[in-house]
Structure 1
Amino acid sequence: MGDVSAGVTAHRRIGGVDTIRGLAAIAVFICHIQAYWPFMELPGKLPQLAEVGAHGVDVFIVISGFCLGLPVVDRTKNLDVRQFFGRRATRIMPAYWAALAIATVLAIAPATWRSVVAAPASAWDIIVNAVGLQTVFVPTLGNINGSLWSVSLEMHLYLVFPVLVIVWRRWGGSVLLLATAGCTIAWSVLEHRVDFGGPLSGFVGDRHALPARLIQFTVGVVMADVIVRHRFRLSRRLSWFAALATGLLAVAGTTLSVPASVDTILWSVAGAAIVLLTAHESRPSVVYRALEGFGRRTFSFYLLHQPAILLMAVAGRNAPGGWIGQLAIGGALTFLVSLLAAECLYRSVELPSHRFGQRRFPNVTVRLGGEATTVTQPGDPRDAARR
């Protein structure tokens, strides 16, 4: 994995970030295969193990905070809010709206809606999802494409990012972490104690909402400062040990059904340890290059994988060999379909809109005193803040 500090100063990609994204996306995919194919009766503890894959989203959130934090670790530069919001909007909204349009057609068409949703999507569902408010109006979460909740969350994280940067710069990372951890705990405590009812029913305390996940994003932001500005390093062996140990601890917490806020914090720590791995060089290999390439397409893949899984359920059910064949053959075919669809979305919408955003909003930060500076975030094409 590439040297982070070198990647920032020389405007080069951070190797390994996309690999982590790719592995997290595969974990989420396996989780959803198990969840949306009830006919596939996995034996023993395999269902619980597959469900752990849902926490790939937790890792995504930490990585997002990490990558967005990289340009502002330099204290001689301030965040240009207008440029930042413009870059973020052109980065995610076109691909999101394209995927939402596809999911909406599937969720209202007489021939397909029964395969993808419990009831045909309403006009209210479409409006709420279009503006990214399904994590506020919780009853709409699964009415078109349930997986899109994390994009709604990402939008809200972008909105509060400038405030997080101010707190971080003024009072430091420790205060920021304590404040957002307290927010996560308080939000969890309020669950079942406060309910506004109606369209906002279930919002307070919901784990999909911004307050519940803010600590994970903040951990990523602080890790950018720790790794780049403070140049914190562990040896390669200790880095892998930390990632494995914290990952197992988070899995144990999930398995033991610890309180939601504790579970979120445990996965935040695991995500931070995983991010530490990016501080080490990695020897390129065929697998590494494949995962990096896939990782660059994980946003498009994530946007489309759930409808693909639901529509491919027939192929999975008819695969020979019981649950093994259903998972291996049906799962592989579904992954391939999702990957091909993602490639089309990536090349036709995501990549062009992202490049447009880079040209239209080139200056994410501005030097103190007013001089604009073009900041290239890591990733391909030169932007690591993707899902």
Structure 2
Amino acid sequence: MTVRPVTDAPPRQPESKAPRENRLRALDGLRLIAALMVAAYHYGGRGGEVTHAWGRSAAHQFPTLHSYFAYGCLGVQVFFVISGFVICMSGWGRSLQSFFASRASRLLPAYWAAILIVTAVFALPAVTYEALSPSDTLVNLTMLQQPLGVDRILGVCWTLWAEVRFYALFALCVVLPGASWRRVVMFCAGWTLAAAIAQGARSELLNIVVMPEYAPFFIGGMGLYLVHRDRRDVYAWGIVTVSFLIGQHYAVRSLWNASDPNAFAHRSSLGIVLVVAFGFGAVAAIALGRLSWANWRWLTVAGALTYPFYLVHEHLGWVVIRALHIGLGLPSGTTFGLTVALMLLLARLLNRYVEKPLTPRLRTALSKQW
């Protein structure tokens, strides 16, 4: 096989905007699976606030399942692979103005609504969780609370801080000069090298900027989008392979807790690697068209619910669990299922009455003002 040189575009693929008419509905379904993985972790795969919600350790509520729920936190890594794929696809052919307007209008309406809802619920006398101060709540509306050292209202918002940094890097290095095959490849290679240097240098500033522990998942997703454009692209497959090898290393290093006798649940290193492989493999199957048969319209709805569900499910879920299990005495399994269903219903309401009316208006406003 002859490997082509790095040029402005692969000869088989014109540098044009990615086609948008064929929605990858399987990707929407994978988003929901990743969100449900995270929810399972928050409801039954950890200790802390979950113990308070159930009245006792979730390990007692789910004596068998809790050890599997503990792997649900890796749904975040799956999200990051999906994000790398989607951002590379949506940023292709866009101007910087259009890219910024698209990302801001996609993230902010549901996020602001979730902040206000959780704050209001936590302020209720019957709720035993403590609400943040008005000052900290206002800072949370900026999505910059984590670097500013302010307590988070939404526990999951640390992942949004990682997403925002990825968007900024991609915008400056790819969207601003104009997306092309060559620029994406060089960006992936440069980011991988920078992340390794940051890790070796133990530089806090570099770690904040290039995110060594999360970079492989975003980069792997971008590589998989290049595979989607050209499945014979050896550079793209190289990016995906290296990203998986590095990504599983960081996942195992941060989540394998066999040496901690006080850990709520012990994940095996093999189990962690397998879940990471599932994330890469599922997106690869979608990129290669292996899941094109999963083209049901309800998957689009599932994809639309994923983001608002992800935002509200953790803290509000604990409130619902406590009310159903301790307040009403419902069994653990019933409580778990009803809590997920109620959070999906709330996500549907947020999508219908917040995202649908506000997202296009915010996008239009941001596009006009640039």
Q: What residue identity is the alignment partner of 1:31?
A: Y
Aligned to 1:37: 50
Using the TM superposition, give the Cα deviation of residue 140 of structure 1 relative to its aligned residue in structure 2, in angstroms.
1.7
Aligned to 1:176: 187
Structure 1 length-normalised TM: 0.68
1:82-103 residue CA offsets vs partner (Å, 9 max, x unmatched):
1211122112111110111111
The answer to whether residue 320 in structure 2 is matched with residue 312 in structure 1 is yes
Using the TM superposition, give the Cα deviation of residue 270 of structure 1 relative to its aligned residue in structure 2, in angstroms.
5.0
Q: 2:357 aligns with which of 352, 357, 360?
A: 352
Q: 1:18 aligns with which of 6, 28, 36?
A: 28
Question: 5+ residue gaps in structure 2?
Answer: 1-13, 234-240, 259-268
Aligned to 1:231: 231
Aligned to 2:101: 86
Contact 2:91-2:99 within 8 A present in 1 as well? no
The answer to whether residue 70 in structure 2 is matched with residue 70 in structure 1 is no
Residues in 1 aligned to 2:194 and 2:276: alpha-carbon distance in whole angstroms: 14
Residues in 2 aligned to 1:362 and 1:59: alpha-carbon distance in whole angstroms: 31
1:266-311 residue CA offsets vs partner (Å, 9 max, x unmatched):
97765333211213244358xx655543222101111111132111
Q: 1:131 aligns with which of 142, 155, 164?
A: 142
Q: 2:110 aligns with which of 91, 95, 99?
A: 95
Larger relative contact order (C-alpha < 8 A, sep ≥ 6)? 1
Using the TM superposition, give the Cα deviation of residue 57 of structure 1 relative to its aligned residue in structure 2, in angstroms.
1.4
The answer to whether residue 19 in structure 2 is matched with residue 9 in structure 1 is yes
1:192-227 residue CA offsets vs partner (Å, 9 max, x unmatched):
x86xxxxxxxx9868x99554233223222321221
Using the TM superposition, give the Cα deviation of residue 22 of structure 1 relative to its aligned residue in structure 2, in angstroms.
0.9
Structure 2 length-normalised TM: 0.70
Change (3 A) 1:174 1:159: closer
SS in structure 2 at match of 1:9: coil
SS in structure 2 at match of 1:146: coil
Counting only pairs closer than 5 Å after superposition, residues 131-280 of structure 1 correspond to structure 2 as 131-138=142-149, 140-141=151-152, 144-165=153-174, 166=177, 169=180, 172-185=183-196, 210=211, 212-228=213-229, 230-232=230-232, 256-257=256-257, 271-278=279-286, 279-280=288-289
Change (3 A) 1:22 1:121: same
1:98-151 residue CA offsets vs partner (Å, 9 max, x unmatched):
111111223444442x33xxx43123421331111133135523xx22112222
Q: What residue identity is the alignment partner of 1:340?
A: L
Contact 1:31-1:52 within 8 A present in 2 as well? yes
Q: State the identity %.
A: 23
1:317-349 residue CA offsets vs partner (Å, 9 max, x unmatched):
46779xxx41x2110110111011111101001
Tell me the matched-pair count: 318
Question: 5+ residue gaps in structure 1?
Answer: 195-202, 234-241, 364-387
Residues in 2 aligned to 1:320 and 1:109: alpha-carbon distance in whole angstroms: 21
The answer to whether residue 65 in structure 2 is matched with residue 50 in structure 1 is no
Cα-Cα RMSD: 4.2
Aligned to 1:198: none
Using the TM superposition, give the Cα deviation of residue 81 of structure 1 relative to its aligned residue in structure 2, in angstroms.
0.7
Change (3 A) 1:123 1:150: same
Residues in 1 aligned to 2:343 and 2:186: alpha-carbon distance in whole angstroms: 41
Q: What residue identity is the alignment partner of 1:130?
A: L
Using the TM superposition, give the Cα deviation of residue 41 of structure 1 relative to its aligned residue in structure 2, in angstroms.
2.3
Change (3 A) 1:268 1:133: farther
